[in-house]
Structure 1
């Protein structure tokens, strides 16, 4: 993955810790790990943003599903120690009618059980679009989870531009106000990474459908403002647009050409 990132002129990337729709993880090849660490050092890679499988739901209405999430996150965090000082991002989950208070407690309890003081990975909660009973559609919901976490230096947020737009945050017309709200509610010090996506949807539709950069309702002008914003430009930007290798290369070239 490191060599592929370099072929795209990227200096960071995201990767799934295991099958995104399942539970099986590949065995770790220590030789491959060492080669990547050397490559990352040589080319000065930014922080990596590992992504947990979509199947995790630590606030499910079924105990076995909550336990699966706990075991998977615990295993993933152990595996992430092979790539120290990076990020582990996950979707907070769906409360499935049990209510947001139940979800906040279940998610925070899960993380408090699996995180430990010596871990070298920062866990990131992802902002969500608010489909159905998704948790994390508002900054307040994420903060309610974060404030319950014991290890405050090991918890943060990954902001998805498509998700917050679809969730009702008008980053097109009020980017500075949205960031001010984030800072007031969560704190910009907790913002560690950005999923940089355009959206197929209008504001506040709660649908979560990503679009290629500059081809959606967020638009290129806003994307350029985001990557150059003084409070954001130091963060790793991860593309999750519906694209292939050549398409990602074109998007990265476009973003680099407009990065100040």
Structure 2
């Protein structure tokens, strides 16, 4: 099992070294803004180290949106961040499934995902693998419930889209975790990355609030089993004050 963590500091390599993890996940720009990403000194240090990297795309990105002012800059930002991810030698880039608004047809959001891959294929495709992440809330989300993920995969699976399973999101989104890897692979054929997070909230709450492995509403034994069954690298996005204990817990298993 390869265990990593989402790093939050301005010195991601120092944080990775302190946690003694195998890989790190990071943003390449402010996740709440449309800023163009650049490889600064701190990112270059990670690139030049032996630590593997996963890039998480900005939260503002929503390629499913029917709003041109969101969808068009989302496509541009995703391509820019994929280019920087490639410069870092990233294993892949995680992108939230996104959503459409109340009153809009989710099928149109799925179509926008397909158009994203079709357009990018015309110029050679993305420079790193794109891993779509399931999300916790919203009845018009592209990747909350697994029936919606199945519809999305019918549209984008042929382009080699990867899948990132977030355990907190699945739990909060109303999906049981006991057989979650088997169920996801039946839909996507793959799990490329696992965000192993406990949840501060109850099952099917639709709330995305992460907890450390031993302190949330999900049995940590179930989380450990999901990690083992996935066969994929693990990224912890748990609260920073307990993340070292989370790494130790998984290593102890």
TM-score band w.r.t. shorter chain = 0.7 to 0.9
1:179-221 CA-to-partner distances (Å, cap 9, x unmatched) read 222222221xx21001110011221221222111111111222
Residue 23 of structure 1 corresponds to: 34
Residue 76 of structure 2 corresponds to: 71
2:115 aligned to 109, 130, 136, which one? Answer: 109
Q: Is 1:236 aligned to 2:246, yes or no?
A: no
Q: Is 1:249 aligned to 2:229, yes or no?
A: no
Aligned in 2, Cα 1:126/1:63: closer, same or farther, shift over 3 Å?
same
Residue 203 of structure 1 corresponds to: 203
Q: Distance in 1 between matches of 2:132 and 2:197?
A: 17
Per the TM alignment, residue 29 of structure 1 is displaced from its structure 2 partner at its CA by 4.0
SS in 2 for 1:56: coil
Per the TM alignment, residue 238 of structure 1 is displaced from its structure 2 partner at its CA by 1.0
User: What 5-or-longer segments of structure 1 have no aligned partner?
Assistant: none
Q: Distance in 1 between matches of 2:170 and 2:49?
A: 34
Per the TM alignment, residue 61 of structure 1 is displaced from its structure 2 partner at its CA by 3.3
Q: Is 1:219 aligned to 2:219, yes or no?
A: yes
TM-score, normalization: structure 2? 0.85
1:149-194 CA-to-partner distances (Å, cap 9, x unmatched) read 38633x10100000011111111xxx23x3222222221xx21001
Residue 99 of structure 1 corresponds to: 105
After superposing the two structures, state which structure 1 stretch, 144-153 or 218-227, moved more. Answer: 144-153
Residue 180 of structure 1 corresponds to: 182
Residue 149 of structure 2 corresponds to: 142
Aligned in 2, Cα 1:20/1:224: closer, same or farther, shift over 3 Å?
same
1:38-60 CA-to-partner distances (Å, cap 9, x unmatched) read 421xxxx45x3211111111222
CA contact (8 A) 1:19 1:25 kept: no
Q: Distance in 2 between matches of 1:2 and 1:248?
A: 16
Aligned in 2, Cα 1:58/1:163: closer, same or farther, shift over 3 Å?
same
SS in 1 for 2:240: coil
1:82-122 CA-to-partner distances (Å, cap 9, x unmatched) read 12351111112120021210110012212332355464411
Q: Distance in 2 between matches of 1:65 and 1:118?
A: 21
Q: Distance in 2 between matches of 1:96 and 1:39?
A: 42
SS in 2 for 1:148: helix
Aligned in 2, Cα 1:22/1:88: closer, same or farther, shift over 3 Å?
same
CA contact (8 A) 2:135 2:170 kept: yes
Which one scores higher on RCO, CA 8 angstroms, separation ≥ 6? 2
1:14-41 CA-to-partner distances (Å, cap 9, x unmatched) read 10121111111453248963x534421x
CA contact (8 A) 2:66 2:109 kept: no
What RMSD in Å do the two structures reach over aligned CA positions? 2.3
User: What 5-or-longer segments of structure 2 have no aligned partner?
Assistant: 1-11
In the comparison of the two structures, how many residue pairs are matched? 240
